């Protein structure tokens, strides 16, 4: 009994600095109003995505031509589009599409980026030079243009959109993780592990990767807004998710030709994009302030 | 001497990167599409037409022959003939590029003015209400999708208020002779003041939409670097000499704080020059970005190839110029 208590005591002692650091972070987070507003907006966005079927009063796809182009009212908060679909329900279901896009694009681009960056940084020399020039090649395109060309060639589907954005986005993570790998690999403990006989893949996977992942994660939170904007841009141009997918950019495009008379079709989904991206940017800005050692005190 | 070596090295690397870029574009236009001809002509085209187009596009050859022909063409500045316009792709690009240049320059004016001003004011009034308001204003700029903002501005200023004309570059009645391809410049050269006024009214909205987004990132960098500079010893020295706040900020701090901002400005200029795809689409601006979108939507492969390569080239060149000027300013960067 006492031993458990004393163990708990030592554990507490060990954890105290971390706990205090965490508390300090929470304190800074509370002191950074932008970060707080951002977190609330994103939480709201995630809740809408999760509970979409409960929130949306209508089906996102069912058409009702007798009811088309209705202005916003208590029946249809955001009005209806040219096919009589409820814009509010489409926007609500669209949140799910956006979450899906963010999730997949992040996972794929981080996987590619970490692989390229760690391998380049770890082996150095020729491997590094080759992989970094490949990275440069992908960075030589304006982001949207490359993503557009890839989706257009592969055919505009949701999956291809996600692949295209990921293929454009990985370069940032590659550069970041390369820089960290170069720093980590000269540490004595890596040499010690190698002396013990660990193979290169093992060192990279279990010793370099954990050390270089945190700046990548921070960068990821900063880039989520951009991912949505890119996806929406593709959707708007008709090079993203095909109709009738309620992707927000695509809904804005649906209303484009009606913008002067039936402004609501484009306005509300665009507002949804702006609010969510704003949330991510507020949070990102705040995170940057909180993590910046110069400002942190 | 070192700088010259640095520039040479960068130019050589750029050559390699451009070769890679050409390969990526080849992959996108020749390898990924299962059947470009079918996609262009639709499923029911007669076999003869299909064969003819396949031959015209060189698709009846093996992939590596296609690749070397394609590279050879690029070195001669020959991207083939656009399927849609039936013009040489090079001529199309040269026709659309001036509009993009003009829009990019106009947008840059907004960016520099807003970005530098907002960032500086934010830094000076750090953590005061005005700082928060300006920061929110600039974060809004990077958060709103440009195509949506453009639509709303058209709705307000064109349709509701009628203050500004709708889409396009100029009205038909205000015809401006084409000399340089830049309507604003041409109308000044020809002293066509009505044409100039018309062109200015047309460019305001798209330039604002584009400039606002990049102004936001300039303002962010400007604020951070201004805060950094204001902490430096030489600023304190200047203040303790008894110089006024204004003098210190404008004469001592601003120039130093501008250096990181110049990088961001340069990069976003490259971004704008390579075609503001969405804004040009919204405002029917006859530039490169819109040309790319239209070629992509109808799968005009020669046009896609040429325009994409051109855009990547311009974009890389702009970044190269930024890097070189940075190296010239800061020797530590030449690594």
Contact criterion met (CB < 8 Å) for B17 and A133: yes
What per-residue confidence (pLDDT) applies to A227? 92
Does any CB of chain B come closer than 8 Å to the CB of residue A266? yes
Check pLDDT > 90 for residue A259: no
Q: Does B152 touch chain A (CB under 8 A)?
A: yes
Distance from CA of A6 to the nearest CA of B (A): 46
Instruction: Nearest chain A residue to B216 by CA: give it.
Output: A281
ipTM value of the model?
A: 0.85
Whether residue A5 is predicted with pLDDT greater than 60 in this model: the reply is yes
Segment B240-257 mean pLDDT: 78
| CB of B159 less than 8 A from some CB of A | yes
pLDDT digits (tens, 9 = 90+) for B41-83: 766 777 777 777 777 777 777 778 888 888 888 888 788 888 7
A144 touches chain B (CB under 8 A): yes
Range B143-150 average pLDDT: 91
For residue B148, give the nearest of A136, A153, A252 by CB distance: A252
pLDDT for A111 equals 93
Model confidence pLDDT, tens digit, residues B306-321: 888 898 888 888 888 8
Interchain proximity B139–A285, CB inside 8 Å: yes
d(CA B72, CA B80): 11
Nearest beta carbon to residue A274 from set B148, B155, B315: B148
Q: What is the mean pLDDT of residues A52-61?
A: 83
Q: What percent of chain B has pLDDT over 70?
A: 93
* Domains detected in chain B: 89-334 (1.10.3720.10)
Q: Which chain A residue has its CA at the smallest distance from B269's CA?
A: A142
State the pLDDT confidence band at A297, using cuts at 50, 70 and 90.
very low
Q: Which pLDDT score, from 0 to 100, does residue B331 have? A: 60
Output the six-digit token pair for A185.
Answer: 């690999």
Angle of helix B89-124 relative to helix B288-297, nearest 10 degrees?
Answer: 120
Q: What is the pLDDT of residue A231?
A: 92
Subunit contact B159:A238, Cβ cutoff 8 A: no
Q: Measure the CA–CA gap between A112 and A123, rounded to whole angstroms.
A: 17
Query: pLDDT tens across B188-205, in order?
Result: 777 777 777 888 888 889
User: Model confidence at A229, in pLDDT bands (50, 70, 90)?
Assistant: very high
Tell me if chain B has a CB within 8 Å of the CB of A277: yes
Residue-wise pLDDT for A71-129, tens only, equals 888 888 888 888 888 888 899 999 999 999 999 999 999 999 999 999 998 888 889 98
Instruction: Kindly state whether B25 is in contact with chain A, defined as any CB-CB distance less than 8 angstroms.
Output: yes
CA distance B331 to B334: 6
A34 contact residues in B (CB cutoff 8 A): 132, 135-136, 139
A237 with B297: Cβ contact below 8 A:
yes
DSSP class of residue A37 equals H
Spell out a b/e string for B244-283, using b for 16 or more CB atoms within 10 Å of the CB, else e: eeeebbeebbbebbbebbbbbbbbbbbbbbbbbbbbbbbb
In terms of pLDDT, which residue wins out, B38 or B27? B27
Residue A282, chain B, CB below 8 Å: the answer is: yes
pLDDT tens, residue by residue, A277-292: 999 988 887 777 776 6
Mean pLDDT, chain A, as a whole number? 85
Yes or no, beta carbons of B13 and A133 under 8 Å apart: yes
B167–chain A Cβ distance below 8 A for any pair: no
- Asked if A133 lies within 8 A of B139 by C-beta distance, the reply is no
Is the CB of residue A137 less than 8 Å away from at least one CB of chain B?
yes
Cβ-based neighbour number of residue B49 at 10 Å: 11
Please name the residue ranges forming H helices in A61-142: 87-123, 125-139
């Amino acid at each position: 009994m006492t031993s458990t208590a004393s163990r708990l005591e030592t554990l507490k002692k060990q954890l105290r600095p971390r706990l205090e650091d965490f508390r300090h972070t929470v304190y800074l987070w509370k002191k950074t109003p932008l970060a707080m507003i951002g977190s609330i907006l994103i939480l709201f966005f995630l809740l809408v995505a999760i509970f979409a079927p409960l929130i949306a009063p209508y089906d996102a796809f069912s058409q009702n031509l007798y009811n088309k182009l209705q202005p916003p009212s208590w029946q249809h908060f955001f009005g209806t589009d040219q096919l009589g679909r409820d814009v509010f329900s489409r926007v609500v279901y669209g949140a799910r599409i956006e979450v899906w896009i963010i999730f997949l694009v992040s996972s794929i681009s981080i996987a590619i980026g970490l692989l390229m960056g760690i391998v380049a940084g770890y082996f150095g020399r020729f491997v590094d030079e080759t992989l970094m020039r490949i990275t440069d090649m992908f960075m030589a395109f304006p982001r949207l243009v490359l993503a557009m060309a890839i989706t257009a060639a592969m055919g505009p589907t949701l999956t291809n959109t996600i692949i295209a954005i990921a293929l454009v986005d990985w370069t940032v993570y590659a550069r970041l993780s390369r820089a960290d790998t170069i720093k980590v690999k000269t540490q004595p403990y890596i040499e010690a592990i190698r002396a013990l006989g660990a193979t290169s893949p093992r060192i990279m996977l279990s010793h370099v990767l954990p050390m270089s992942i945190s700046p990548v994660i921070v960068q990821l939170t900063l880039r989520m807004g951009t991912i949505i904007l890119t996806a929406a841009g593709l959707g708007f141009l008709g090079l993203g998710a095909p109709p009738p997918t309620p992707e927000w950019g695509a809904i804005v495009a649906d209303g484009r030709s009606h913008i002067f008379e039936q402004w609501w079709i484009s306005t509300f989904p665009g507002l949804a994009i702006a609010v969510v991206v704003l949330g991510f940017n507020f949070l990102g800005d705040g995170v940057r302030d909180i993590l910046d050692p110069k400002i942190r005190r | 001497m070192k700088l010259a070596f640095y520039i040479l090295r960068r130019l050589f690397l750029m050559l390699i990167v451009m070769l890679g870029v050409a390969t990526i574009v080849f992959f996108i236009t020749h390898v990924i599409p299962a059947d470009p001809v079918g996609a262009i002509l639709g499923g029911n085209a007669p076999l003869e037409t299909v064969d003819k187009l396949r031959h015209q596009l060189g698709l009846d050859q093996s992939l590596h022959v296609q690749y070397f022909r394609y590279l050879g063409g690029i070195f001669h500045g020959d991207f083939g003939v656009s399927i849609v316009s039936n013009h040489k792709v090079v001529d199309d690009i040269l026709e659309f590029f001036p509009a993009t240049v003009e829009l990019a320059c106009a947008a840059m004016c907004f960016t520099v003015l807003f970005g530098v001003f907002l960032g500086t004011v934010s830094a000076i009034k750090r953590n005061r209400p005005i700082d928060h308001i300006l920061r929110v204003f600039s974060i809004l700029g990077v958060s709103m999708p440009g195509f949506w903002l453009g639509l709303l501005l058209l709705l307000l200023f064109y349709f509701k208020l009628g203050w500004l004309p709708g889409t396009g570059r100029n009205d038909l009645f205000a015809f401006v002779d084409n000399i340089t391809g830049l309507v604003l410049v041409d109308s000044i050269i020809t002293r066509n003041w009505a044409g100039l006024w018309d062109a200015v009214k047309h460019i305001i909205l798209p330039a604002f939409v584009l400039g606002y987004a990049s102004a936001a990132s300039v303002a962010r960098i400007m604020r951070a670097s201004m805060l950094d500079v204001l902490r430096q010893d030489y600023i304190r020295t200047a203040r303790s000499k008894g110089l006024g706040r204004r003098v210190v900020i404008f004469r001592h701090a601003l120039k130093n704080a501008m250096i990181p901002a110049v990088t961001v400005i340069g990069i976003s200029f490259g971004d704008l020059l390579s075609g503001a795809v969405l804004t040009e689409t919204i405002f029917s601006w006859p530039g490169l970005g819109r040309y790319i979108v239209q070629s992509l939507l109808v799968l005009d492969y020669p046009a896609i190839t040429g325009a994409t390569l051109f855009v990547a080239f311009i974009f890389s060149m702009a970044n190269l110029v930024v890097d070189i000027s940075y190296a010239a300013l800061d020797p530590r960067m030449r690594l």
